[in-house]
Every structure is written in C-alpha cells, then in structure tokens.
C-alpha cells in the first residue's frame, strides 16, 4: 500500500525539480561556460567590471527599500485608522483602500500614465491653469517608479497590519492602560512590538515584489535601469551569458533579503505566539466631536477618491475613441468603439482568449500539484513531501524575470537525454511559466489549509468505510475549499495579468493581454489599451469577489 | 467459556524510543464493554488506534471472531469510532453525517433514510437530519458522533474519551444513556478514559494501563478489592501506601509492623505468605478507624478532615511522618488532635501487601 504512494511522491518531486530547479541550474551553467563548453569566469568578470551593472543592482536594492518605507508610511496609519476608529463611510472606504490590489502591475502603470503622464489628465489641468505649453514634469525615472510602487504596495501593509490588529486581544490595551501607560507609550511599547510579525511579513512581501517589479521600471524607467529591466535589455542585445550572470546577481539579492527577513521573522513569531490573545478585538473608538468627524470624513473621502483615480481614469480613457483626444483637458468624445473592437476584431479578441485559457490551465494545474504536495507533505509526512513543500515555495523567492530567463534557457534546446525539449515558441511555454509562478501561491494557501484540517476527520471517513478517493472528494476537498479558492483566485489573477514572464516567452499566437496592451500603447491606440486594462481590472475584481464568496459559503 | 469475540494479542507500538503500547493482550466476549483506564500518556489512544487500524502494530495481532484483521485497513475493518473531539464533518448536516458510513456500505438511498432516522432515534435526536453541525450543543454533537458510528452496524465500537469535552453535570447522565444504548444493541465496545468513575460506570470490565503496559484487567469490584499492583490500588479508588516490615504469619494473614504497632493483613485466598522483611502496605480509608489515643493504636495527629456522609475522611500524620487517610466518626476529632489508628472492625479488605520493589 505504501509503495505506490512512495512512487507518486517521488514522481512529483522529480517533476518539480525538472520544472523549477533544473532551469535555474542551467542558468548557472550558461553563465559559467564559454565556447566549447569549458568553464570560465569571463562573464562574471565582465559583469564585475561594468559600473552599469553595479548601478542597476544598487538601484534595484534602494528602490525596493524605499518602496518598503513608502508603503509602510501609507499602509500602517491607514490600517490603524480603519481598525481603531469609527466614522461615517468607514466600511465603504475600508474596501476602497484595498482596491489597488485589483490592478495588475501593467494596468496600474497604464493608469498612472493616463493620469500623471506628460499628456495625462493632471498635466492637461496644470497646463491649462498655469498657461504652460508643456507639462512641468516628466513621469520618468526613480520617482515615477516609486510612485507606482507606493500606490500598489501599501496594500500589503494595510492588510497585514489590519489582520494583526484584529488578532490583538482587547485585554492587551486594557492591561497596558491599567498599568498607567498612556496612548503613545502603549503604542510604542506594547502594540508595535506585538505587530512586528505582521510588519515583517508585509515588509518582506513588499521588498520581494518591488525587487521583482518589471512593469513600472520598463515603462517609466527611461535611462534609469534596475536589474530586471537590465536583464531584458542585455538579452535583447544577444549577450546571453552576461544576462545569466545578471540573473544570478538578482537571485542572490532576493535570497539574501529573504534570509535576513526570515531570521527576524522567526524570532518574532516565537515572541508573538506567547503574547497575542484569543483575538477579541477592542471596540472601535467612535469619533464624536462634530469638527473631528467632519475633518476625518473630508480627509478619508478625499483619500478614497485619490485611491480610485487610477481606476476611474482607466475607465474614462477606455471610452475615448482612437485619435479624438489631442490637446483638450478632458476628452471631447466618448463611445463604446474600443470595446466593440475587442469583441468584433478577431485579432484583438485573441489575446483575451489566450490569457483566459492559459491562466485557467496554469491555475488548475497548480491547484492539482499543490493538493498532491499537501497530501505528501502534511499527511504522509514523507521526506519527498518535505522537499516538495520547499520546492513549491522557491519560485516565490526568485523574481519572475529570472524564471522567464531560466525557462527560456532550458526549453529552447532539443536534448531529450538532458530532459530538454523545445517549448519556447510553442503554445506550451507560457502556461508552463504561469504554472511555475503560480505554484508558491496555490501551494502556500493549500498546504496551510491542509495543516489546519483535523486529521481525525479523514480517519473518521476511513472508519466509516470511505476509501481514499471518496474521502478526498467528500471530506478533504470540501473542507479545503476556502484555501483552494483563496489560492486559485490569487493565482489566476496573477497569471491573467502577467507581463514580466510573458514579455520574454510569448509568441504571436499566444500573445497575452498584457503584451497587447503594450503594443496598443506603442501604436498610440490609447483607448484600446485602456479597454484591455479595464477588462483585466474587472476580471481580477470579479474573480476575487467570486473567490471570497464561494470560499466562505457552505 | 465461549469463544472471545475480539482478541488483542501482544500488541506493541513504538514511537522512536517510547513504547506507547507494550505487549498488550486482552480479549472481549461478544457484546462486552471494556474500559481502557490509565493516566494521560499511558497509551490508551494508541491502543484504540491500533484496534481501529489507524496505526500498524510493530508486533502482535488483532482478531475478530478468530479471524485476523491486523493488516486490514480501517476502510474494510468495520469498526466504528467516536473520536475525542467527535470529528463530525462540518460541511455536512446531521443526516448526511450519519448516512456517510451507510453510503460507503452501498446501501441505497431509500433504505438509507430509514436507517439514518433509526440511528438518530437511538440517540434521542429524532428529526435532527437537516440541522447543521455548528448549530448543535456539545452533548448533541457527541450523540451525533455516536449515531454516525453505530449506523453502519459496526462489529466493534471504539470510543476515545467520549465524555471528556462535556461539562460534568451532563457527563454523568450521558454515561448512563450510552451504557444502556450499547447494552441494548449488544455491540462489543472498547472505550478509553482516564477517569475511574467513568470506567467503573460504563465498563463491564476495566483494563488498567500504565506506560503502555497492562497492569490488571477485571470487573470494577475485582480491581478495587484485589489490586494486582500498587499502581492499580493507587489509581483505582482512594488509598495511601506506607512502608512496613513483614515479621511473620499471624492468625488472619501476614503480621506486619508499622512504626511500632503490629497489625494482621489478610491475604488473598491461595496467595503465598510474603517473605519476612520490608514491604509496602496499601491502605484504603475504610480499612482503618480513628480512635482516641490508645496504647495499641498507632499514634497520629489530625491534619485535615473532609465530611463524606456517614463518616468523615481524616488526613492524619504519624509520628514518623507518614500521611494516611483514615475514616472516623464525623466531628469526633478536630484539626491538631492527637488520635490513634486501629484496623477497622469491619472484617476483610482494604489492606494490601506488596513486595517493596513492586512499584
Ligand atoms: N504519533 C505519535 N508520535 C510519537 N509519539 C506518540 C504518538 N502518539 C502517541 N505517542 C506517545 O505515545 C505515548 C502514549 O500516547 P497516547 O496513546 O496518546 O496516550 P493516552 O491516550 O493514554 O494519553 C505518549 O508518550 C505519546 O507521547
Ligand atoms: Mg488519549
């Protein structure tokens, strides 16, 4: 009985090694092998001798750190505001504050371009008011990247800290107050230390996302290069081996950051476990003074509108027919023409279909693999299972650009004996890339869900005569549904809006929506680009909403 | 003696260096209820899981009606189990939970409905089919778990601390209901508990486990009256153990000396006379009687007293520092009083002699 299971878990392990580790190893080999297959440090030396490489690496690092700081600066106060105070419109705004999450990275960039770009709404407005011929700024360089990062990543801090605050027992505040600690002292000496696991988690996520960020630097970078864009540029130059060295440098930076933050994380988790209570969150303070209420309402509604501006801009521009908006402050004409194009023109509809099936397939496969992994790692507790769990998490720590390069390297050669096949240029490379990138998302959610599942439920099913498959179908899967839905929705949305891996691996036949947005933009087909963006945004929002609903119902 | 229905033969299960269950052998007659009693960590749950088939023994066998089932997976074993925290399926309603095992057995839908209704009626939950698990109280959940385990008519019913999560008042009532139900159905049952009251009340026989080993198995009366080891004596019923010297045979058993006074300790019928020398004496509270200080009584001082009804239980300390629990007339002595201890006039029992190293 245990032999076939042993084989199944080992087969899965081999598959994952082939998909995840092997391509990365090939990257390493390519970087270290010269002509004729001899070992060489030539490319490493080239890398080390070029100041531009060090500059790109440094830029990646400081942009990521600055993104963490900015995101925390916005997200943490917002979390406190919405968790601790009650004021008119709190519920609606609390949801609005999380909305940047429904903008896939490239779509967010697009919206910022329409809003703050040299020919965007704000520029038009400023030109009109100050009677200028040109916008007094360019949306370019580090500032522009940081603006987009801060907007899209503060949500991590907001959500993590809110969850952390919700799990703090009211008695923590009361105990501090009864010991005579004032509000600030309580915050500084009690609340913030207890929130450290949440803060560390959000910081890690923000840092890794910013380090891997590609869309914003690619569109707004101009001459400013971070490592992700540098890699793509080098590769376009045909300098493959150097691109591999760059890839390795970025990977090392990511893994180093992970290591540093994980260490402090583990310490905090140990401390947090002892001190946090059952989670009877304290009552929100009602803001009662009319002046304070008014001020708070104005501030928070303004904030809500500012946060929604990108979404609204995108929506507005998507109704502007091509070529009708030139110098006016506000577009003069609106129609459904762009959407009609998406539906009627087969060439324009194709990317939507592509993204849909590729993301669906990758998500389904990722869910299946994660379920198997969870069974091997959590229930069977095989050694292969533990290794599988570790492997699933790996693509999370490795930036998407790196994986795109690695897959492109591994699967552009036909060498069946080395387990390499030509997939680049075929239909299958993008779903495969999405799958690899989805695995950490579904894996984390499903394995965590499995750990929370009481093993005696499955034993009860067995003692009632239910075989392995009936137990899986009738007990395990239904109980895992919230975890599966959470993982699957996030994975689908990520794959559906993916830009970073797609740009390196797509073919004309498999071009996804993000690539079509890019080419529309290049053709000044702004309205169509916005329409695609709106579709991505709505699908993301819809999938999230459906996932939340189906995950909790029943 | 009829053929035993369920036999555990030398069952052993190790977890690394711990031997959770050590050469456990037991047999149950058809329809018998056996209680596995032991302190936490004594291997009760592991023994039950070995019976259910969730654990594979390192050695030993399980037989049902003479047929070996040791390697049979739980799915085909047809042993019903009630888990400590019930393990009800939260996404299914009460009826679906109870029907679960019937579906596995391939019973068609029409017959299933009637069987579910019957099973729920057994546990006094008639008409609860459509309730959600989350809407039930702890006691009701416990009964649904019982109905679910019983519905497919298992060959053996296994219960892991079935009452431990109920509040004390409910526990006693539920105990009676379960005993009555199981006896009515005649299902051979093994249940696990760490509470002596529960074991005595529910079990036809009680098996006492200690660090994975069977210490003694017998009816509650046997365990109380004739504990095989000091551990059983101490775990079952109230008692204190003091060191004594065996000095020879007396008219009614062994003669022992305890701090200068000499008592006769009755021996079990057929038991060999203990060798002279140091031994342990296990004393039930009712075996001794408290009197005013007297020349042939063991002198002691009252430390605490506890009213128990017809008598009071006094905790006293002898001059040599041994603490004993002794019965006496309620209110006869106060704390700090000097008193004497005599063997109770009620003949027989309550005193048990063990070799010194038998602990
Ligand atoms: N799965 C397991 N892995 C390791 N040790 C175990 C496991 N299950 C039980 N044990 C050990 O076996 C011993 C008996 O445990 P258990 O059967 O749960 O006792 P009880 O139910 O009487 O409290 C304990 O020392 C426990 O730590
Ligand atoms: Mg137990």
Report the nearest atom of ligand 1 relative to the CA of B212. 14
Tokens representing residue B130 in the block = 């459509």
CA distance B66 to A23: 58
Ion ligand 2 — residues with CB under 5 Å? B 45
Chain B residues whose CB is inside 8 A of the A474 CB are 100
Cβ pair B85:A454 closer than 8 A = yes
Q: Per DSSP, what are the bridge partners of residue B217?
A: B207
The residues that bridge with B6 in the sheet, in sequence order, are: B28, B64
Question: Three-state SS for A541?
Answer: helix
Instruction: Report the nearest-CA residue for atom 11 of ligand 1.
Output: B20
Residues of chain B below pLDDT 50: none
Q: Find the Cα–Cα–Cα–Cα dihedral A541, A543, A546, A547, rounded to 10°.
A: -110
Is residue B78 within 8 Å of B151, Cβ to Cβ?
no
The dihedral formed by the CA atoms of B262, B267, B273 and B278, expressed in degrees to the nearest 10 = -50
Which H or E element spans position A440? helix A429-452
Option in B76, B83, B105 nearest A460 (CB): B83
CA-wise closest residue to B218 among B236, B239, B240 = B236
Contacts of B88 in chain A (CB under 8 A): 460
Number of the ligand closest to the Cα of B49: 1
**Pairing of β B59-64 and β B323-328:** unpaired
Distance CA B349, CA B224 (A): 9
* Residue of A463, A477, A483 to mutate for B, most B C-beta atoms under 10 A: A463
Tell me which chain B residue has its CA closest to the CA of residue A456.
Answer: B87
| Contact indicator for A481, A550 with CB cutoff of 8 Å | yes
Neighbours of A257 (CB within 10 A): 19
Distance CA A380, CA A386 (A): 10
Burial code (b: 16+ CB inside 10 Å, e: under 16) for B124-133 equals ebeebbebeb
A190 Cα–ligand 2 center, Å: 38
Q: For Cα atoms B253, B259, B261, give the angle at the middle one, nearest 5 degrees.
A: 50
The two tokens of residue A396 are 């999370």
Contact A554 B105 (CB under 8 A): no
Looking up tokens 């006293």, which residue turns up?
B316
- Say if the Cβ atoms of B149 and A474 lie within 8 Å: no
Q: Closest-lying ligand to the alpha carbon of B161?
A: 2
Nearest C-alpha to atom 27 of ligand 1 is from which residue? Answer: B41
- Output the CA angle B54-B58-B63, nearest 5 degrees: 65
Q: Which 3-state string (H, E, C) describes A316-340?
A: HHHCCCCCCCCCCCCCCCCCCHHHH
| Ligand 1 centroid from CA A531, angstroms | 61
Closest residue (by CA) to atom 17 of ligand 1?
Answer: B43
The rounded distance, in Å, linking the Cα atoms of A160 and B297 is 73
The burial class, CB within 10 Å (0-12 / 13-18 / 19+), for A183 is exposed
pTM of the predicted model as reported, rounded to 2 decimal places: 0.82
Least CB–CB distance from A454: residue in B87, B100, B104 = B87
Positions in chain A whose pLDDT score sits under 50: 1-2, 272-278, 553-554
What does the block give as tokens for A73? 């600066």
Q: Which two tokens stand for residue A152?
A: 């899209």
Q: What percent of chain A has pLDDT over 70?
A: 92
Going A26 to A254 to A358 to A10, the CA torsion angle's sign is: positive
Question: How far is A447 from B56, CA to CA, in rounded Å?
Answer: 26
> What are the DSSP calls for A169-235, one per residue?
-HHHHHHHHHTT--HHHHIIIIIHHHHHHHHHHHHHHHHHHHHH--HHHHHH-TT---HHHHHHHHH
The whole-angstrom separation of Cα A204 and Cα A194 is 17
Of the candidates A96, A98, A107, A93, the one whose C-alpha atom is nearest the C-alpha of residue A539 is A107
Q: State in Å: Cα A283 to ligand 1 middle.
A: 42
Ligand number with the minimum distance to the CA of B43 = 1
Minimum-distance CB partner of A456 among B53, B79, B87: B87
Judged by CB atoms within 8 Å, which residues 466-495 of A form the interface with B? 466-467, 470, 474-475, 478-479
Taking CB atoms and an 8 Å limit, are B104 and A465 in contact across chains?
yes
B247 alpha carbon – ligand 2 mean position (Å): 43
In angstroms, how far is CA B235 from the centroid of its own chain?
A: 9
Q: pLDDT tens digit string along A16-59?
A: 999 899 998 988 888 888 777 788 888 888 888 888 889 999 99
Among A1, A454, A465, select the one facing B101 at the smallest CB separation.
A465
Tokens of B310: 């017809």
- According to DSSP, the residues that pair with B317 across neighbouring strands are B301, B323
Q: Give the residue on A whose Cα is nearest the Cα of B149.
A: A464
Judge whether B265 and B254 are in contact, CB under 8 Å: yes
Triad B4, B5, B7: Cα angle to 5°:
75
Exposure b/e, B188-210, CB count within 10 A at least 16 = b = bbbbbbbbbebbbbbbbbbbbbb
Of all ligands present, the nearest one to the C-alpha of B41 is 1
């001190």: which residue's tokens?
A275
Tell me the Ramachandran region of residue B260: left when phi exceeds 0, alpha when psi lies from -120 to 50, beta otherwise.
left
B65 is written with which tokens? 């009606």
Whether residue A168 contacts residue A277, with contact meaning beta carbons closer than 8 Å, is answered with yes
Give the nearest chain A residue to B81 (CA atoms).
A463
Q: Tell which A residues from 413 to 472 touch B, by Cβ distance under 8 Å.
A: 454, 456-457, 459-467, 470
Element (H, E) at B47: helix B44-52
Q: Do residues A516 and A533 touch, judged by C-beta distance below 8 A?
A: no
State the Cα–Cα distance between residues B122 and B153, nearest whole angstrom. 13
Among chain B residues, the shortest Cα distance to A481 is held by B91
A1 and chain B in contact, CB less than 8 A: yes
- Residue positions counted in chain B: 359
B40 Cα nearest atom in ligand 1: 23
């Amino acid at each position: 009985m245990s032999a076939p299971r042993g084989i199944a878990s080992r087969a899965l392990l081999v598959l994952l090694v082939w998909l995840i580790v092997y391509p990365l190893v090939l990257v390493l080999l390519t970087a270290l092998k010269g002509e004729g297959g001899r070992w060489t440090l030539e490319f490493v030396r080239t890398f080390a001798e070029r100041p531009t490489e060090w500059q790109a690496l440094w830029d990646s690092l400081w942009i990521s750190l600055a993104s963490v700081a900015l995101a925390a600066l916005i997200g943490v106060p917002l979390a406190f505001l919405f968790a601790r105070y009650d004021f008119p419109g709190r519920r609606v705004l609390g949801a609005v504050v999380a909305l940047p999450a429904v903008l896939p990275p490239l779509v967010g960039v697009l919206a910022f371009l329409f809003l703050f770009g040299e020919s965007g709404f704000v520029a038009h407005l400023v030109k009109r008011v100050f009677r200028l011929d040109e916008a007094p700024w360019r949306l370019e360089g580090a500032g522009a990247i940081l603006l987009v990062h801060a907007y899209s990543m503060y949500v991590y801090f907001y959500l993590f800290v809110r969850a952390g605050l919700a799990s703090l027992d009211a008695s923590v505040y009361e105990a501090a107050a009864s010991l005579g600690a004032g509000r600030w002292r309580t915050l500084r000496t009690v609340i913030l230390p207890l929130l450290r696991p949440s803060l560390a988690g959000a910081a890690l996520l923000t840092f890794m996302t910013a380090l891997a960020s590609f869309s914003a630097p690619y569109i707004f970078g101009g001459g400013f290069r971070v490592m992700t864009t540098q890699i793509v540029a080098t590769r376009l130059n045909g300098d493959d081996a150097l691109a591999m060295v760059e890839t390795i440098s970025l990977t090392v930076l990511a893994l180093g950051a992970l290591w540093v933050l994980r260490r402090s994380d583990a310490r905090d988790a140990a401390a947090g476990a002892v001190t946090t209570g059952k989670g009877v969150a304290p009552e929100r303070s009602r803001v009662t003074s009319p002046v304070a209420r008014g001020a708070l309402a104005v501030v928070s509604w303004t904030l809500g509108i500012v946060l929604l501006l990108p979404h609204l801009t995108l929506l507005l521009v998507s109704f502007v027919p091509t070529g009708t908006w030139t110098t006016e402050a506000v577009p003069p004409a609106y129609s459904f023409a762009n959407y009609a194009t998406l539906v009627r023109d087969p060439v324009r509809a194709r990317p939507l279909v592509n993204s849909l099936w590729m993301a669906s397939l990758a998500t389904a496969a990722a869910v299946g693999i994660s379920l198997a992994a969870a069974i091997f790692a959590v229930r069977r507790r095989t050694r292969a299972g533990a290794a599988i769990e570790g492997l699933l998490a790996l693509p999370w720590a490795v930036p998407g650009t790196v994986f795109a390069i690695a897959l492109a390297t591994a699967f552009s050669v036909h060498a069946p004996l080395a387990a390499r096949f030509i997939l680049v240029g075929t239909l299958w490379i993008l779903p495969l890339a999405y799958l690899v990138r989805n695995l950490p998302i579904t894996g984390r959610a499903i394995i965590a869900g499995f750990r929370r599942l009481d093993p005696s439920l499955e034993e009860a099913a067995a003692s009632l005569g239910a075989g392995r498959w009936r137990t899986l179908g009738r007990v395990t899967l239904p109980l895992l549904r919230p975890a599966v839905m959470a993982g699957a929705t996030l994975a689908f949305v990520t794959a559906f809006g993916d830009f970073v891996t797609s740009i390196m691996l797509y073919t004309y036949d498999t071009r996804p929506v993000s690539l079509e947005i890019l080419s529309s933009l290049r053709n000044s087909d702004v309205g169509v680009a916005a329409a695609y963006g709106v579709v991505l945004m709505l699908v993301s929002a819809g999938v999230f909403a459906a996932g939340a609903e189906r995950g909790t119902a029943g | 003696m009829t053929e035993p229905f369920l036999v555990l033969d030398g069952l052993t299960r190790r977890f690394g260096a711990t031997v959770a269950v050590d050469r456990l052998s037991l047999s149950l007659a058809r329809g018998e209820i056996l209680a596995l009693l032991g302190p936490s960590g004594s291997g009760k749950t592991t023994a039950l899981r070995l019976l259910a088939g969730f654990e594979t023994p390192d050695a030993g066998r399980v037989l049902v009606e003479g047929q070996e089932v040791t390697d049979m997976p739980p799915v085909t074993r047809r042993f019903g189990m009630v888990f400590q925290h019930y393990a009800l399926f939260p996404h299914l309603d009460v009826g679906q939970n109870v029907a679960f095992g019937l579906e596995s057995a391939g019973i068609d839908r029409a017959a299933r409905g009637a069987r579910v209704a019957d099973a729920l009626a057994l546990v006094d939950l008639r008409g609860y089919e459509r309730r959600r698990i989350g809407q039930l109280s702890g006691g009701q959940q416990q009964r649904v778990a019982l109905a679910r385990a019983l519905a497919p008519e298992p060959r053996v019913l296994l219960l892991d601390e079935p009452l431990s999560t109920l509040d004390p008042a409910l526990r006693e009532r539920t105990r009676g209901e379960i005993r009555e139900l199981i006896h009515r159905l005649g299902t051979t049952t093994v249940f696990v508990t760490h509470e002596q009251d529960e074991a005595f009340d529910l079990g036809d026989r009680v098996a006492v486990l200690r660090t994975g080993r069977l210490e003694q198995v017998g009816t509650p009366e046997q365990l109380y009256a004739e504990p095989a080891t000091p551990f059983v004596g101490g775990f079952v019923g109230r008692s204190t153990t003091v060191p004594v010297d065996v000095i020879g045979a007396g008219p009614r058993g062994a003669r022992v000396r305890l701090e200068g006074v000499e008592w006769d300790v009755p021996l079990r019928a057929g038991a060999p006379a203990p060798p002279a020398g140091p031994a342990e004496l296990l004393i039930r509270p009712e075996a001794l009687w408290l009197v005013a200080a007297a020349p042939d009584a063991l002198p002691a001082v009252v430390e605490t007293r506890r009213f128990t009804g017809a008598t009071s239980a006094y905790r006293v300390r002898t001059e040599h520092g041994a603490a004993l629990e002794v019965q006496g007339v309620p209110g006869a002595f106060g704390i700090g009083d000097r008193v004497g201890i005599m063997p109770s006039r009620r003949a027989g029992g309550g005193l048990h002699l063990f070799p010194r190293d038998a602990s």
